């Protein structure tokens, strides 16, 4: 059934995807207290199209109106873990890049003069994070800071319609083109605190925390109170087979970089007053463990 579906799609669109993925992880232990871990992930995705088997008006339209997609991304990072008295510390440096390109032309030949669409964007995040974790009188205490240098570059060319002339060469309808080009960078940073402990003879695990995120781009982005996000969770161990858990938390996320970097006709960034996206999650669930290695979550 699935193969027939792809055969039908191929007859219409003739998609030619090309996926490549890479990853690595290297760990080096300097001594009993210090460990360095290096991690890398990367992906390269390309989509192209072959001529359709049946040259119908519909197939030709679909082929010419669908853009070529090329995108790649990678993440590399280093984590230094250092054991301390009754706890440990983490120092993390990382960089992630996402590059996305869409190309579309008025015919099957990729001639620049026939271009109708270009979307080229790149997001870059360079991150540093430090957290310290301590175990004191049955409590697990965690605190940390993070900072990011964000870079965004976007280039848009979209030919909405071609110029239309009458038989005498007079312009009836002017060519309509949308152009957009912007690149910017700013800092993101945040703080967090968290504590957890097993109580009631270790039958109830209680965990609570608070976090705030700030940035140097949006208006009011340096106010930590605007993104103050508390969360609390509880997990009760009923018996050897049943657990019940519940949590509530508020989360904030900065708006997409594409929206933040939008420019008006005068080249001014008009979305600096955008607020963080806020969501509040309520979770109630249970876990049943019929065997030691077969949990069931609801």
CB 105 within 8 A of CB 111: yes
Tens of pLDDT, residue by residue over 129-156, are 999 999 999 999 999 999 999 999 988 8
Give the Cα separation of 279 and 193 in Å (integer).
19
Kindly report the number of other CB atoms within 10 A of residue 214's CB atom: 20
- Is the pLDDT reported for residue 179 higher than 60? yes
For residue 62, what pLDDT band results from cuts at 50, 70 and 90? Answer: low
Give me the chain's average pLDDT, please.
87
> What percent of the chain is predicted at pLDDT more than 70?
85
What pLDDT sits at residue 6? 53
Give the Cα separation of 36 and 131 in Å (integer).
15
Which residue spans within the chain are E strands per DSSP?
15-29, 34-49, 68-84, 87-105, 115-136, 139-161, 164-165, 171-173, 176-199, 204-215, 229-237, 242-253, 277-288, 296-297
For residue 34, what pLDDT band results from cuts at 50, 70 and 90? Answer: very high
Highest mean pLDDT among 8-22, 47-61, 244-258: 244-258
Quick one: 22 exposed, middle or buried, by C-beta within 10 A (0-12, 13-18, 19+)?
exposed
Flag whether the pTM goes above 0.75: yes
Residue 53 sits at φ, ψ, to 5 deg, of -65, -35
């Amino acid at each position: 059934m699935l193969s027939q579906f792809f055969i039908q799609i191929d007859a219409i669109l003739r998609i030619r995807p090309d996926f490549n993925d890479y990853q690595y992880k290297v760990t080096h232990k300097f001594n009993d207290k210090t460990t360095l871990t290096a991690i890398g992930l990367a992906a390269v995705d390309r989509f192209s199209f072959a001529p359709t088997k049946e040259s119908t008006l519909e197939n030709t339209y679909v082929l010419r109106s669908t853009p070529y997609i090329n995108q790649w991304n990678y993440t590399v990072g280093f984590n230094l873990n250092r054991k301390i008295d009754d706890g440990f510390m983490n120092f993390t440096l990382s960089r992630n890049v996402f590059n996305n390109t869409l190309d579309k032309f008025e015919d099957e030949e990729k001639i620049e003069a026939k271009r109708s669409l270009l979307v080229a964007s790149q997001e870059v995040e360079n991150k540093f994070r430090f957290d310290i974790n301590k175990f004191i009188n049955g409590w697990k205490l965690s605190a940390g800071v993070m900072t990011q240098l964000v870079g965004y570059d976007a280039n848009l060319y979209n030919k909405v319609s071609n110029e239309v002339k009458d038989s005498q060469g007079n312009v009836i309808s002017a060519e309509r083109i949308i152009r957009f080009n912007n690149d910017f960078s700013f800092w993101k940073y945040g703080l967090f605190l968290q504590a957890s402990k097993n109580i009631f003879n270790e039958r109830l695990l209680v965990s609570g925390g608070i976090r705030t995120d700030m940035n140097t781009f949006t208006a009011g982005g340096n106010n930590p109170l605007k993104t103050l996000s508390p969360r609390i969770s509880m997990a009760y161990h009923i018996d050897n087979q049943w657990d019940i858990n519940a949590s509530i938390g508020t989360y904030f996320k900065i708006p997409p970089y594409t929206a933040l970097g939008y420019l008006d006709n005068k080249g001014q960034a008009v979305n600096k007053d955008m607020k963080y996206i806020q969501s509040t999650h309520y979770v109630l669930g249970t876990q049943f463990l019929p065997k030691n290695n077969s949990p069931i979550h609801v």
